[in-house]
């Protein structure tokens, strides 16, 4: 309604260069023929509305709602209101037909605000575009509100995970049983891995996938600094897209396998190197390899059936990723391989 009133008022006012007779022929009978009255009318409209010259993107007049957004007469409207695309103005001017940003993907973004923009050409009797009327309706903040809520949920989840980690730490400190303390420390470490993975993937939640290589490098740097022993972790990772929801189980698999290598592959107190390789295979699948240069697996140990909690965790998450776990061991080291489908 506001857009229709603006167009009608403009057609009946003294803007443009045509004669009064032509303007009278165009008039719809509203009786509005005073530009000052038109400006007063437009200033009362809540919708930002502006008149743009027939050539170029210079603003002839902007109502109060548009002036509050920084659009003033004499300015280049696409500069003072970047949400408006020069292409939208050009399409309206060249086609002499109204143009509108309709689809959600076409809605112009201006900071955290989203606008539904309309550009209507005003034609003279000869069919020539006399001017353009631009209106900018702020859309319901569905996208911005969704992102805000997503950030809130992510922040609450992060706080909850940190609370769980703190409770586990307190429980560890209060326990006198060495076995219980080790179990609680392991649980706290796993919660920490989940928290870090969540923090790294939050920015990609809307995208659906994330390059896992940078995440893997950062994870291994943290593991190298926190795992027992003076071990070095070497990472060779190719750019590989993974679903966001796969990053947490992937991180836990890496943490458990690297941790096992650091704790069990080398003689007590001896430093060692752990190689982590990650990337696509020839068949399009994704492969993770964790290899050490230690003493090999204990005789008779089958990692696909071992009853230790760490390997149970690994098998559970490998299954969640629809992957396959295997190991190759000798007295010169062990290589554990996880193959799973690409994103």
Which tens digit of pLDDT belongs to each residue from 259-296? Answer: 888 888 888 768 889 999 999 887 778 999 999 988 88
Contact predicate 129/122, CB 8 Å: yes
- At residue 299, what are phi and psi to the nearest 5 degrees? -60, 130
pLDDT of residue 204: 57
CATH T-level fold of 2-140: Beta-Lactamase (3.30.450)
Question: Domain limits of the chain?
Answer: 2-140, 141-207, 208-343
**What is the CATH architecture of 208-343?**
2-Layer Sandwich (3.30)
pLDDT of residue 25: 36
Averaged pLDDT score across all residues of the chain: 77
> How far, in Å, CA of 119 to CA of 99, rounded?
5
* Widest distance between CA atoms in the chain: 103
Rg, Å, the chain Cα set: 32
- What is the average per-residue pLDDT within 31-41? 63
> How far, in Å, CA of 227 to CA of 29, rounded?
83
Return the closest-CA partner of residue 62 out of 77, 82, 83, 84: 77
Residue 107, pLDDT above cutoff 90: no
Residue 106, pLDDT above cutoff 60: no
Alpha-carbon separation of residue 78 from 46, 50, 221 (angstroms): 20, 12, 47
Contacts of residue 185, defined as CB under 8 A and 6 or more positions apart, other chains included, come to 172
> How far, in Å, CA of 75 to CA of 96, rounded?
23
> How far, in Å, CA of 36 to CA of 39, rounded?
5
Contact predicate 304/247, CB 8 Å: no
pLDDT tens string 192-227:
777 777 676 665 555 577 888 998 998 898 888 887
pTM score: 0.52
- At residue 104, what are phi and psi to the nearest 5 degrees? -60, -35
Contacts of residue 62, defined as CB under 8 A and 6 or more positions apart, other chains included, come to 48, 49, 50, 51, 71, 72, 73, 77
Q: What are the contacts of 102-105 at 24+ separation with CB within 8 A?
A: 104/142, 104/143
Q: Measured between alpha carbons, how far apart are the two ends of the chain, in Å? A: 48
pLDDT tens string 293-339:
888 888 878 888 887 878 888 898 899 899 999 999 888 889 999 99
- What is the average per-residue pLDDT within 33-47? 73
Q: Which residue would you say has higher pLDDT here, 266 or 13?
A: 266
Q: Is 39 helix (H, G, I), strand (E, B) or coil?
A: helix
Q: Tell the burial category of 164 from Cβ atoms under 10 Å away from its Cβ (0-12, 13-18, 19+).
A: middle
- What is the average per-residue pLDDT within 34-52? 79
């Amino acid at each position: 309604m506001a857009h229709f009133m603006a167009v009608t008022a403009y057609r009946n006012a003294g803007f443009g260069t045509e004669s009064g007779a032509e303007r009278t022929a165009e008039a719809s009978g509203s009786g509005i023929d005073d530009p000052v009255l038109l400006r007063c009318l437009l200033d009362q409209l809540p919708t930002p509305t502006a008149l743009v010259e027939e050539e170029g993107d210079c603003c002839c007049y902007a109502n109060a709602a548009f002036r509050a957004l920084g659009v003033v007469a004499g300015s280049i409207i696409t500069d003072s209101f970047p949400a408006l695309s020069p292409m939208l103005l050009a399409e309206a001017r060249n086609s002499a037909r109204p143009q509108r940003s309709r689809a959600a993907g076409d809605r112009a973004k201006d900071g955290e605000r989203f606008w539904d923009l309309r550009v209507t050409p005003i034609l003279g009797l000869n069919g020539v575009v006399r001017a353009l009327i631009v209106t900018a309706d702020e859309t319901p903040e569905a996208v911005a509100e969704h992102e805000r809520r997503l950030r809130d949920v992510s922040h609450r989840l992060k706080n909850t995970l940190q609370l769980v980690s703190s409770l586990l730490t307190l429980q560890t400190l209060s326990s006198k049983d060495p076995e219980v303390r080790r179990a609680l420390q392991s649980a706290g470490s796993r919660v920490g891995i989940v928290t870090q993975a969540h923090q790294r993937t939050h920015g990609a939640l809307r995208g659906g996938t994330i390059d896992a290589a940078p995440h893997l490098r950062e994870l291994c740097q943290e593991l190298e600094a926190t795992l027992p022993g003076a071990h070095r972790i070497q990472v060779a990772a190719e750019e590989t897209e993974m679903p966001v929801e796969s990053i947490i189980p992937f991180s836990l698999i890496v943490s458990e396998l690297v941790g096992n290598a650091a704790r069990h592959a080398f003689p007590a107190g001896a430093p060692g190197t752990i190689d982590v390789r990650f990337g696509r295979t020839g068949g399009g699948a994704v492969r993770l390899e964790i290899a050490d240069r230690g003493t090999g697996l204990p005789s008779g140990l089958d990692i696909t059936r071992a009853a230790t909690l760490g390997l149970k965790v690994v098998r559970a998450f490998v299954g969640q990723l629809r992957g396959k776990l295997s190991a190759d061991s000798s007295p010169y080291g062990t290589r554990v391989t996880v193959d799973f489908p690409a994103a």
